[in-house]
Amino acid sequence: MSDAKRPAGRRDARKQLEQEVLTEYPRLGPDDRFSFSCHPGISCFNCCCANINIFLSPYDVLRLKQRLGISSTEFLGRYAALPIQKDMRTPVVMLRMNDDERKTCPLLGENGCTVYSDRPWPCRMYPLGLAAQKDTPDGWRGERFYFLLKEEECKGFDEAHPWTVREWLDNQQVGPYDEWGEAFKELTLHKFFEDGGTLSPQKMHMFFTACYDLDRFREFVFGSTLLKRFEIDEDFVEEMRYDDEALLRFAFLWIRFSLFAEDTVRPKPEVVDAFKGNVDKGALFTRRAAETATEGTS
């Protein structure tokens, strides 16, 4: 199920809610309708931008740090919470609420959201949630459907503005967020984890840096021997130097290569030759690359 915009302090009930959504909530498809409107004139305006769990994707962080004109490292230090849980397979990044009485979102201003056109995916989606049944062998490509999240205090449902699900998603410009979200799920729900694989603290750190701390990952890409050791298109290298989205694309490929031993980044022939004579060059190379990556991002 998606981690949609949801009041905090209900983590214990989360599994129960997930079960309810899967078994009881009406399922909405792209052409199903609902009525909703949120605008500055509504009596509850801004009241939902406090005391909530907002899980951030790598693309959310990319958009927010660009919007705020700060580095990813600064954004994470100022605005993110990194909860640690025992059974966590990959890092989790959340928007850190202010330490005031209401626990307001740090991005909320007097006139509403100060980063509105770059707000995170959960803020765009509300009042829609997205759920997927984990009933397929690969664990997540089961039926996906939308549902309505009706928070008690939200008066938006009393407004007579009709939408189809498709119209809402278009209006909220969810498209690129979904595309990046799908690519990210390929990492977080990778078969490696389904088969019982776990990441060491070092590899967890590498995963975090590559996905969320893009500016630090850029330092690693351009400040280490990585570009000398791998065949990467020169134009793409130049793009990565300045374009965060190109760099994030490479980060996902790098994780698949260095953590999951996929053939997504190709070592140069001379580098492969250097390992000739070893029992298992591929495995050795992958291990070395992962170690280097981990060292480089520490």
Catalog residues that contact ligand SF4 under the rule CB under 6 A: 38, 42, 44-49, 54, 105, 107-108, 113, 115, 119-120, 123, 126, 153-156
Using the minimum distance from each CB to ligand SF4, give the nearer residue, 126 or 257. 126
Nearest approach, Cβ of 162 to ligand SF4 (angstroms)? 16
CA angle 42, 48, 51 (to 5 degrees): 155
Longest Cα–Cα distance in the chain: 72
Nearest approach, Cβ of 115 to ligand SF4 (angstroms)? 6
Using the minimum distance from each CB to ligand SF4, give the nearer residue, 132 or 149. 149
Residue type, 238: E
Nearest approach, Cβ of 180 to ligand SF4 (angstroms)? 17
Residue 40 CB coordination number (10 Å): 8
Nearest approach, Cβ of 44 to ligand SF4 (angstroms)? 3
Using the minimum distance from each CB to ligand SF4, give the nearer residue, 50 or 272. 50
Using the minimum distance from each CB to ligand SF4, give the nearer residue, 111 or 298. 111
* Count of helix runs (H) and strand runs (E) in the chain: 14, 12
Nearest approach, Cβ of 155 to ligand SF4 (angstroms)? 5
CA 228 to chain centre: 30
Using the minimum distance from each CB to ligand SF4, give the nearer residue, 107 or 221. 107
Nearest approach, Cβ of 126 to ligand SF4 (angstroms)? 6
Q: Are 123 and 54 in contact (CB under 8 A)?
A: yes
Nearest approach, Cβ of 28 to ligand SF4 (angstroms)? 17
Q: Are 246 and 95 in contact (CB under 8 A)?
A: no
Using the minimum distance from each CB to ligand SF4, give the nearer residue, 147 or 250. 147
Q: Which residue has the tokens 């984990």?
A: 134
Q: Which two tokens stand for residue 26?
A: 């009406």
Residue 284: CA atoms inside 13 Å, Cβ hemisphere, count?
11
Q: Are 186 and 211 in contact (CB under 8 A)?
A: no
Nearest-CA neighbor of 72 among 233, 286, 294, 251? 251
Using the minimum distance from each CB to ligand SF4, give the nearer residue, 169 or 189. 169
133: Cβ–Cβ under 8 A, 6 or more apart, which residues?
22, 142, 143, 144
What does residue 286 show for φ and ψ, rounded to 5 degrees? -60, -40
